[in-house]
Amino acid sequence: MFDHFFQHWINREMTSPLMDHFMAGITNFSAWRPLIFLAVFLGLLFGNVRIRIMLLILALALGMTDGVIVHTIKHLVGRARPLQVEPGVRVVSLVPSSPQIATLFVRPQISSPQVPPLGTKIQGVSFPSSHAANIFVIATVLFLFYRRLGIGAFVIAFLVGYSRIYTGAHWPVDVIVGACIGISNGILITCLMNQIWRKWGEYFAPKLAKQYPDFHL
């Protein structure tokens, strides 16, 4: 009941042309991929040791979150997306293009796909939201290393999570659980790597260990 009420309210009631455009853009990872890759490249090339350690931990946390935890749960649960089973869902998306970033300033597509008859069993991958899990694990790791940057990242993470409901891709619980997975795993991986660094860092890199005894604080 909770899922259906809030999915309907966000996806069909709290809408506007401006929101359609904004949500279609922020939810599309492909559109932002070039800028993300550029930021990572610049961080590796010009960043200090702290930034490079953070990027390493971020890669580990993302791999564990998306590649193992979320992927496993999705296929075990098999929950269908709203756009697969809910009549009248507004599917809001960028116009297909290559590169996708070129359509950020083009009016998005809005459609209402036909859904199978009631009672049809559909195997989906809606639960949990991988977008929410990934963006929240990024925000969490950023926050543990750089507080102000992390706060901004959490604002973006919230908007991305909201966009997954707005665009018809996920139910609210999918996003909530995905966010919880991302936050928990971000904390876990960062703290675990920090413990390994505190124990073994001085043996492999004594100068760095002395300079960064706790690299995420």
pLDDT digits (tens, 9 = 90+) for 13-22: 999 999 999 9
Q: Kindly tell me if the per-residue pLDDT of 50 is higher than 80.
A: yes
Structure tokens at 13: 């009631």
Question: What's the confidence (pLDDT) of residue 118?
Answer: 67
Confidence bin at 72 (pLDDT 50/70/90): very high
Q: For residue 211, what are the contacts with CB-CB under 8 A and spacing of at least 6?
A: 49
Confidence bin at 84 (pLDDT 50/70/90): very high
Domain extents in the chain: 2-107+125-211
CATH no. of 2-107+125-211: 1.20.144
Residue 111, strand partner residues: 91
E strands, the chain, in order = 91-93, 109-111
Question: Which of 50-54, 60-64, 176-180 has the lowest average pLDDT?
Answer: 50-54
Q: CB of 86 within 8 A of CB of 14?
A: no
Exposure b/e, 2-29, CB count within 10 A at least 16 = b: ebeeebeebbeeeeeeeebbbbbbbbbe
Structure tokens at 99: 């590169």
Average pLDDT, the chain: 91
- Angle (CA) 128-4-174 rounded to 5° is 10
18 vs 86: CA distance, rounded Å: 24
Question: What's the confidence (pLDDT) of residue 205?
Answer: 73
Of 91 and 118, more confident = 91
Q: What is the pLDDT of residues 99-111, one digit of tens each?
A: 888 888 899 999 9
- What is the pTM (predicted TM-score) of this model? 0.93
Q: Kindly tell me if the per-residue pLDDT of 206 is higher than 80.
A: no
- Other CB atoms within a 10 A radius of the CB of residue 41 amount to 10
Residue 93, strand partner residues: 109
